[in-house]
Amino acid sequence: MNRSEISKLVKYGWIFLFAGLVINYLYRMVGHSIPIDKIIIGSDMEGYYQYLVHFFVKDWSTFDQMRWTMPFGEGKTLSAFTCGVAILWSPFFLAAHLISIFFGLDTSGYANMYYGFMLVAGIVYTYIGLVFIYKILRNFFEHKVSLLTTALFFLATNVFYYSVLLGAGMSHVYSFAMIAIYLYFCNQFSKESSLKNLILLGVPFALAVLIRPVNIISGLYLFLYGVNSFASLKERFAYWVKNYWAIISLLIIGLIVFIPQMAYWHYVTGKFLYYSYQDQGFPNWQAPKIGVVLFGKFNGWLLYTPIVLFALSGLFILLWRKQMNSLSVLLILLICIYINGSWWAPTFAAAVGQRAMIDFLPFLAIPLAFFITRIQGMSKPLRIAFGVLILMFIYYNIKFGFSYSSGEWWDSPMNGAKFWRALKF
């Protein structure tokens, strides 16, 4: 990438950030009167955030007394959440902390300056993820198709809510960004199996796993790269046997990235590896709630993110053609859906759409772009019809994000009238 391209990315990044902050202000202060602390305080968000406060502000001896945690043993608490998001937040937290010190503001870590910078972090990492999705697509598609597809991941999926509205404190757009970077460098590694490319794919992959351990299934993309038959599977296995150094290197990268988390687990539990969710788990693993995940009235993936139907159509065509690593993508999605359906709360509680699938959306970039190229080859009436559908999906996604209220949506019975109220002008 030359200096001119970097300059363009930075310029567009500032525009994206400014637009995201304006959208967030309109949502919180004009539409709902929601204070900015709601981006961080409470639920999973505070579970990630408190690592930063205890590391940079409080005494380290209080790590076994964090407040958004579960009891563990006598007089101790254990966070269910891993620290991947906190690591990605740390530069933004430090910037907020230094500004607060310089201007004599509240430096407790729990103040609007800090919350504002966490919002900035969500927008910045979303932009990074979108940039790498675009870079992936440009390897296979023309500029207009790549740009449109990238825009749809922001405008027509719940990435929009979880980046610029009220979800920037959740983990999903950070996984989204790390997996997009990982996929880009997987493609680069396939062209040149160098240690540099391995590190560049290994670090974001390890961070994605540290953000949400279920993201480890993304590793199948690398290990099954190019596999579309039993013969190619044998060839791929032989490749990894021959290049065992790459597997060892990935394990070392993962170990280094996980050091902070293992240190925390050891401090609280005495063990370097620990299942921190304790009693929460996968009680539905023998009868996963697949229907709830895909079509549930609360957060069904295909109901609340219908643009995915286009991407899946593209994926099935690519499967038929045995192209674009479609087999590994399908396998990853199926495992992810099974895991989500097995989780104790397959709706993922007060979420906007099936939020747990945001992490894996980058795998659908190529299938969606491929489907859009198919639309371009259709007759004019069909192109217009699909264009109208896409605009409807964008409106549906943005309007629902702006109208969504967790209290109203979850604390009263679901019915058609309530759903329509969320979408009407």
Distance from chain centroid for Cα 257: 18
Q: What pLDDT score was predicted for residue 254?
A: 97
Q: What is the DSSP string of 100-136?
A: HHHTT---SS-SHHHHHHHHHHHHHHHHHHHHHHHHH
The two three-digit tokens of residue 318, written as one number: 């690519």
pLDDT band at 373 (very low <50, low <70, confident <90, very high): very high
Q: What pLDDT score was predicted for residue 68?
A: 87
Q: What pLDDT score was predicted for residue 104?
A: 96
The answer to whether residue 422 scores a pLDDT higher than 80 is: no
pLDDT band at 412 (very low <50, low <70, confident <90, very high): low
Q: Give the mean pLDDT of 333-347.
A: 95
Q: What pLDDT score was predicted for residue 31?
A: 83
Mean pLDDT of the chain: 93
The two three-digit tokens of residue 296, written as one number: 């549930």
Q: φ and ψ at 77, to 5 degrees?
A: -130, 155
- Write down the domain spans for the chain: 3-232+239-410
Q: Give the mean pLDDT of 17-45.
A: 93
pLDDT tens for each residue of 105-130: 999 999 999 999 999 999 999 999 99
pLDDT tens for each residue of 138-181: 999 999 999 999 999 999 999 999 999 999 999 999 999 999 99
Q: Give the mean pLDDT of 194-218.
A: 97
Q: Give the mean pLDDT of 254-281.
A: 92
Least confident residue range of 24-28, 44-48, 72-76, 137-141: 72-76
The percentage of the chain sitting over the pLDDT mark of 70, rounded to a whole number, equals 96
pLDDT band at 413 (very low <50, low <70, confident <90, very high): low
pLDDT band at 425 (very low <50, low <70, confident <90, very high): low
The answer to whether residue 279 scores a pLDDT higher than 80 is: no
Q: Which residues of 211-242 are buried (b: 16+ CB within 10 A; e: fewer)?
A: bbebbebbbbbbebbebbeeeeeeebeeeeee
Reduced to 3 states (helix: H, G, I; strand: E, B; else coil), residue 70 is: strand
End-to-end CA distance of the chain: 44
How many other CB atoms are there within 10 angstroms of residue 106's CB atom? Answer: 11
Distance from chain centroid for Cα 207: 12
C-alpha–C-alpha distance, residues 177 and 93, integer Å: 19
Q: What pLDDT score was predicted for residue 414?
A: 64
Helix (H) or strand (E) segment spanning residue 92: helix 84-102
Helix (H) or strand (E) segment spanning residue 78: strand 76-78
Q: What pLDDT score was predicted for residue 299?
A: 87
The two three-digit tokens of residue 176, written as one number: 């989204």
Q: Which residues of 312-334 are buried (b: 16+ CB within 10 A; e: fewer)?
A: bebbebbbeeeebbbbbbbebbe
The two three-digit tokens of residue 168, written as one number: 């920037």
C-alpha distances in Å from residue 210, one per residue of 83, 84, 231, 421: 7, 5, 34, 38
Q: What pLDDT score was predicted for residue 404?
A: 84
pLDDT tens for each residue of 213-240: 999 999 999 999 999 999 999 999 999 9
β-partners of residue 72 are 76
Q: What pLDDT score was predicted for residue 168?
A: 94
Q: Identify whether the C-beta of residue 39 lies closer than 8 Å to the C-beta of residue 119.
A: yes
Q: What pLDDT score was predicted for residue 198?
A: 97
The amino acid sitting at 203 is V
The two three-digit tokens of residue 24, written as one number: 């967030």
Q: 406 or 38: which carries more pLDDT confidence?
A: 38
Q: What pLDDT score was predicted for residue 105?
A: 97
CA atoms in the 13 A half-sphere facing the CB of 249: 16
Q: What pLDDT score was predicted for residue 1?
A: 66
pLDDT tens for each residue of 72-112: 877 899 999 999 999 999 999 999 999 999 999 999 999 99
Q: What is the DSSP string of 195-254?
A: HHHHHHHHHHHHHHHHH-GGGGGGHHHHHTTT--SHHHHHHHHHHHHHTHHHHHHHHHHH
Instruction: Record the pTM.
Output: 0.96
Q: What is the DSSP string of 346-381?
A: TT-SS-SS-GGGGGGGGGGHHHHHHHHHHHHTS-HH
pLDDT band at 277 (very low <50, low <70, confident <90, very high): confident
Least confident residue range of 42-56, 83-97, 270-284, 306-320: 270-284
Q: φ and ψ at 72, to 5 degrees?
A: -145, 110
257's CB contacts (< 8 A; 6+ apart) are 203, 206, 207, 210
